[in-house]
């Protein structure tokens, strides 16, 4: 009896293990995904027979099914009960019309769209089930969306091409029946698309791409009556699928204005498919917008500029529905013919967020030099700090830069140009959110740079340059090597500027108050001068050394160098060049002497590019008793520098160099 009991217990153990093993094997095949790994599934019905269908997911451990979906409609998203399932399609009577013989495996955290299609021969009605997979990670950037093309029109002899905007617009994709294209990253917002069969436009439609969405453009219907749909893959409701309306001919228009930045008049601007759109355009003038027809031709259009009775310039262009165009007329680069070059800036239908701006730069200086446009330290409309933002870099004469998105707010403009590169102009402006701006760089008759900013909604009239601003920089030279807090009244502020670092910006001419660690300093801002403020002393007892001078930039290939004594316990400072072989000739290598605390020396000029050793002492110091004996540096020719000596005897002395504008 005891032996029998042991056998029964052993058999019970074996059965439990076997059952557990079977259950574990099945679970591996059909494991329900946790909510964070959910798989969302929908059915889109593009059959042509008029019947409704439902999609069923049979995961053995559980089932799920969509509602009955009429033709040209989509179901709501349903969660898959597991990460694999048998996928079946049932008609309104519950009859299975499509049954996959093998289990479909899903990828976790994806959106699965099953598109039901009819046979190109007409029967069966529910012939093919095409699977479209969307992985929503990562999402497109804010203000962007992804769009792909799927051809659901049951005709194997037809191929459809899609172009962005008008039929003459940029190529998007081309697909035959059941073909699925790769996603394209596009601006979110209103979108106009042209559908072509061969070279014949069959539809121009309008839709909307939501920000950070994934969408599929679907061509369906029949060869006689194609229909265009847009599926928002992440929308959980049946409204995710919408048929796109065609754009009426009366609404196929765009807006165009011109801006003549030349001093000279042009004869006319013509668009090949439209005709003359402007005539006798006076110099330095911005026109009003006018409406012009769009989508007038399948072929690429041309915009032409006529001056002095002849064609001066021409560029290909596609006039798109709802776009706003600014045609800029400028003199040819490298001192070329007046009013003989054109550039076209377009504002598309996408919305610029209310806290952002879009910028482009036009180099119309006509001096044969490239330029770099950047912004100084600034605050945006929400008080956020920005520094080191570039609008354009090394932009050739006559060129138009690519668009750049920036936060709205203050715009301290800095223009660098020349060889060696130096600051050519500075100006201060503000930019409103939701708008596009063009920075046009022109030249005066004397060759000085002028800066013009034009908004996309600027009123027509004479264009005027921005008033010159003042370049201001504040440098942390605290002897105790602590952080600096800096603020301009009504302007940029920055906390925690580390030792030897600086804040550089552009302010409007006039007066300003600077506050550094609670100490206030009044500044007079003259556009013909540059202001550098050295924060010396300590964080608790700062002393502000204001250097207000004309630009130190040399006009020849020499290096210009000056020294600032920012060391509180060094009443008189000497800076010299140590040539090693002539240590006994201390006086012959002096760059600055008897420099009192809080003052700057006169600049000296160095005519050769060489590495030298800067040494610092006092007027009474012998060469072998120096405050700082090991400063190996080199100064590039054509530039200006300020050497700042700071620190204390107790904490040690040091120096740093910053470049002057």
Residue pLDDT, tens place only, 571-624: 999 998 875 444 455 555 788 999 999 999 999 998 888 788 888 988 887 766
Domain count, the chain: 6
Q: Which of 80-84, 440-444, 468-472 has the highest mean pLDDT?
A: 468-472
Structure confidence at residue 580 (pLDDT): 47
Structure confidence at residue 470 (pLDDT): 97
Indicate whether 21 pLDDT > 60: no
Structure confidence at residue 6 (pLDDT): 44
444 and 484 part of one domain: no
Cα torsion 179, 182, 183, 186 to 10°: value is -100
Q: What is the pLDDT of residues 325-350, one digit of tens each?
A: 999 999 888 778 889 999 999 988 77
What CA–CA distance (Å, rounded) separates 651 from 380?
38
460 and 477 part of one domain: no
Longest C-alpha distance within the chain, in Å? 121
Q: Which of 216, 247, 278 is the last residue of a domain?
A: 247
Q: What domain range includes position 497?
A: 470-549
298 and 384 part of one domain: no
Q: Is residue 234 part of a domain?
A: yes
Q: Is the dihedral of CA 452, 455, 458, 460 positive or negative?
A: positive
Q: Is residue 420 part of a domain?
A: yes
Select the more confidently predicted residue: 644 or 489.
644
What CA–CA distance (Å, rounded) separates 226 from 195?
10
Indicate whether 104 pLDDT > 50: yes
Structure confidence at residue 5 (pLDDT): 45
Q: Is residue 554 part of a domain?
A: no
Select the more confidently predicted residue: 64 or 629.
64
What CATH number does the domain containing 100 carry?
Answer: 2.60.40.1120
Q: Is residue 9 part of a domain?
A: no
234 and 310 part of one domain: no
Structure confidence at residue 60 (pLDDT): 77
- Confidence grade of residue 504 (pLDDT, cut at 50, 70, 90): very high
What CA–CA distance (Å, rounded) separates 230 from 208?
9
Select the more confidently predicted residue: 293 or 610.
293
Q: Is residue 441 part of a domain?
A: yes
- Confidence grade of residue 415 (pLDDT, cut at 50, 70, 90): very high
What CA–CA distance (Å, rounded) separates 54 from 6?
54
Q: Is the peptide bond before 135 cis (omega within 30 degrees of 0)?
A: no
Structure confidence at residue 33 (pLDDT): 63
Global confidence as pTM: 0.78
56: closest CA among 81, 22, 74?
Answer: 81
Indicate whether 23 pLDDT > 70: no
Indicate whether 399 pLDDT > 60: yes
Phi and psi at residue 69, to the nearest 5° = -110, 120
Q: Is residue 30 part of a domain?
A: no
Q: Strand pairing of 389-395 and 371-375? A: antiparallel
Query: What residues contact 228, with CB distance under 8 A and at least 6 apart?
Result: 193, 195, 203, 205, 217, 218, 219, 220, 243, 244
Structure confidence at residue 31 (pLDDT): 58
What CA–CA distance (Å, rounded) separates 242 from 555?
65
519 and 587 part of one domain: no
- Confidence grade of residue 3 (pLDDT, cut at 50, 70, 90): very low
463 and 366 part of one domain: yes
Cβ neighbourhood burial of 595 (10 Å; 0-12, 13-18, 19+): buried
Q: Is residue 7 part of a domain?
A: no
185 and 227 part of one domain: yes
440 and 529 part of one domain: no
Cβ neighbourhood burial of 71 (10 Å; 0-12, 13-18, 19+): middle
> How high does pLDDT run on average in the chain?
89
360 and 388 part of one domain: yes
Q: Is residue 2 part of a domain?
A: no
Average pLDDT over residues 306-330: 93
- Look at 208-222, 303-317, 562-576, 630-644 and tell me which has the smallest mean pLDDT: 630-644
Structure confidence at residue 13 (pLDDT): 30
């Amino acid at each position: 009896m005891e032996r029998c009991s042991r056998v029964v217990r052993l058999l019970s153990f074996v059965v439990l293990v076997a059952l557990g093993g079977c259950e574990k094997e099945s679970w591996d095949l059909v494991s329900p995904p946790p909510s964070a790994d959910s798989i969302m599934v929908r059915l889109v019905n593009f059959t042509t027979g008029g019947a409704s269908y439902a999609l069923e997911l049979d995961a053995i451990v559980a089932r799920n099914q969509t509602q009955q979906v009429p033709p040209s409609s989509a179901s709501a998203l349903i969660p898959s009960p597991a990460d694999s399932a048998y996928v079946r399609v049932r008609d309104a009577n519950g009859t299975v019309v499509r049954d996959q013989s093998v289990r479909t495996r899903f990828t976790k955290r994806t959106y699965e769209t099953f598109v039901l299609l009819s046979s190109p021969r007409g029967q069966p009605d529910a012939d093919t089930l095409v699977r479209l997979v969307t992985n929503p990670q990562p999402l497109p950037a804010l203000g962007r969306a992804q769009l792909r093309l799927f051809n659901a029109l049951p005709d194997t002899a037809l191929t459809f091409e899609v172009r962005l905007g008008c039929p003459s617009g940029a190529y998007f994709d081309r697909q035959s029946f059941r073909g699925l294209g790769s996603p394209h990253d596009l601006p979110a917002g209103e979108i106009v698309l042209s559908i072509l069969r061969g070279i014949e436009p069959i539809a121009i439609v309008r839709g909307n791409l939501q920000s950070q969405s994934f969408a599929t453009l679907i061509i369906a219907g029949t060869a006689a009556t194609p229909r265009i749909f847009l599926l928002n893959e992440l929308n959980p409701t049946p409204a995710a699928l919408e048929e796109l309306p065609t754009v009426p001919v009366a609404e196929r228009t765009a807006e165009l204005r011109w801006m003549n930045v030349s001093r000279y008049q042009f004869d006319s601007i013509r668009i090949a498919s439209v005709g003359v759109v402007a005539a006798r355009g006076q110099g330095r003038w911005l026109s009003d917008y006018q409406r012009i027809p769009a989508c007038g031709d399948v072929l690429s259009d041309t915009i032409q500029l006529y001056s002095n009775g002849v064609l001066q310039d021409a560029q290909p262009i596609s006039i798109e529905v709802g776009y706003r165009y600014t045609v800029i007329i400028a003199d040819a680069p490298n001192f070329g013919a007046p009013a003989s070059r054109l550039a076209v800036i377009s504002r598309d239908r996408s919305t610029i967020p209310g806290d952002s701006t879009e910028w482009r730069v036009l180099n119309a200086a006509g001096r044969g030099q490239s330029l770099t446009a950047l912004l100084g330290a600034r605050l945006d409309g929400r008080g956020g700090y920005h520094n080191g933002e570039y609008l354009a870099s090394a932009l050739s004469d006559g060129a138009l830069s690519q668009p750049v998105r920036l936060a709205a707010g203050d715009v301290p403009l800095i223009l660098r140009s020349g060889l060696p590169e130096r600051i050519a102009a500075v100006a201060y402006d503000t930019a409103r959110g939701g708008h596009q701006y063009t920075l046009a760089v022109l030249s005066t008759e004397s060759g000085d740079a002028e800066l013009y900013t034009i908004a996309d909604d600027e009123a027509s009239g004479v264009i005027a340059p921005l008033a010159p601003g003042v370049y201001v920089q504040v440098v942390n030279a605290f002897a105790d090597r602590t952080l600096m807090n800096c603020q301009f009244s009504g302007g940029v502020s920055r906390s925690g500027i580390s030792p030897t670092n600086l804040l550089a910006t552009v302010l409007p001419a006039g007066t300003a108050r600077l506050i550094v660690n609670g100490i206030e300093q009044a500044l007079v801002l003259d556009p013909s001068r540059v202001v550098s403020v050295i924060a010396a002393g300590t964080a608790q007892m700062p002393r502000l050394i204001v250097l207000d001078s004309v630009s130190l930039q040399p006009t020849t290939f020499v290096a210009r160098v000056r020294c600032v004594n920012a060391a509180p316990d060094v009443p008189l400072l000497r800076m010299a060049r140590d040539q090693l072989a002539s240590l006994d000739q201390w006086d012959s290598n002096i760059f600055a002497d008897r420099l009192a605390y809080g003052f700057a020396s006169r600049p000296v000029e160095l005519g050769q590019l060489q590495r030298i050793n800067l040494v610092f002492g006092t007027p009474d110091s012998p060469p072998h008793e120096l405050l700082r004996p090991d400063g190996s540096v080199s100064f590039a020719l054509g530039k200006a520098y300020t050497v700042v000596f700071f620190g204390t005897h107790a904490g040690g002395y040091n120096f740093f160099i910053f470049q002057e504008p």
